[in-house]
Amino acid sequence: MKKVSLTTLMKMKQENDKIACLTAYDASFAKLFDTCGIDMILIGDSLGMVLKGEDSTLGVTVDEIAYHVKSVKNGVERALIVADMPFMSYATPEQCYANASQLMASGANMVKVEGGTWLLESVRGLIERGIPVCGHLGLTPQSVNVFGGFKVQGRNAEKAEAMLTAAIELQEAGIQLLVLECVPTSLAKLISDKLSIPVIGIGAGPDTDGQILVMHDMFGISANYMPKFSKNYLLESSDISSSVDQFIKEVKSGAFPGPEHSFE
């Protein structure tokens, strides 16, 4: 199968072909997901919670992400590989450029950063230096202490407007993908419709251009808790491969996420 590129994902948005994404952290699962036809694999700082058993993503380091990027890269032929930039690894533009280059050298096709307006200079700088960027708005787990916990974001008009503005500004700065996490369905649809770039949802309802889940959540084996927006696909499948096939099928058809996995 042809390698997925950012051009591929842009065409999928234009043709209303939903994008299916999962996290992975090693070569074996990455190869399985790739063979099943997943479009994008994220090496997420979620590894701090699902692999290390910590209560947040804040303790993950750039070296840890780089290690897992190299492992995933060895299992992937088709999917686009995106690497999370961990907490405080992009606090300044200079720091951002250095750490992003390490992740790209490890095998990532793109890096992901959390935040809005304060990131615009760094985003522009990364693009100028040849590093594609995925944004992340809504519930940004690295800001969990500011939010006072893992809470839905953008539920009032003022915060919804601020999120829309930030999304537009990030696109103008050069991001080529955007992840929206734990935001009301109506707001996610508005942002997806306003942006020309693909928007990937997690707990953002069915109207984004694609969906992503943490693999441990999808298999019902997360160490700490199962978020509302997830679904245990192993409960309906005979094996792991079949569960991934079912996830991709339901994302493509629009069957997932349903109302029970979304927020109003």
pLDDT in tens, 158-185: 999 999 999 999 999 999 999 999 999 9
Residues 227 and 95: their CA atoms lie apart, in Å, by: 32
Averaged pLDDT score across all residues of the chain: 94
Per-residue confidence (pLDDT) for residue 150, from 0 to 100: 60
Catalytic (active site) residue 172: no
Report if residue 164 sits inside a domain. yes
The pLDDT tens digits of the residues spanning 120-129 come to 999 999 999 9
Report if residue 1 sits inside a domain. no
Report if residue 132 sits inside a domain. yes
Binding region: 45-46, 84, 112, 114
Binding region for Mg(2+): 45, 84, 114
Report if residue 246 sits inside a domain. yes
Q: What is the CATH number of the domain that holds 199?
A: 3.20.20.60
Report if residue 172 sits inside a domain. yes
Residues 187 and 71: their CA atoms lie apart, in Å, by: 36
Q: Provide the residue range defining the domain that includes 169.
A: 6-261
Residues 116 and 4: their CA atoms lie apart, in Å, by: 27
> Whole-model pTM?
0.95
Q: Provide the domain count of the chain.
A: 1
Active-site position among 64, 94, 172, 181:
181
Angle at 9 between CA 7 and CA 14, to 5 degrees: 95
Report if residue 170 sits inside a domain. yes
The pLDDT tens digits of the residues spanning 45-101 come to 999 999 998 988 999 999 999 999 999 999 999 999 999 999 999 999 999 999 999
Q: What is the largest CA-CA distance in the chain?
A: 48
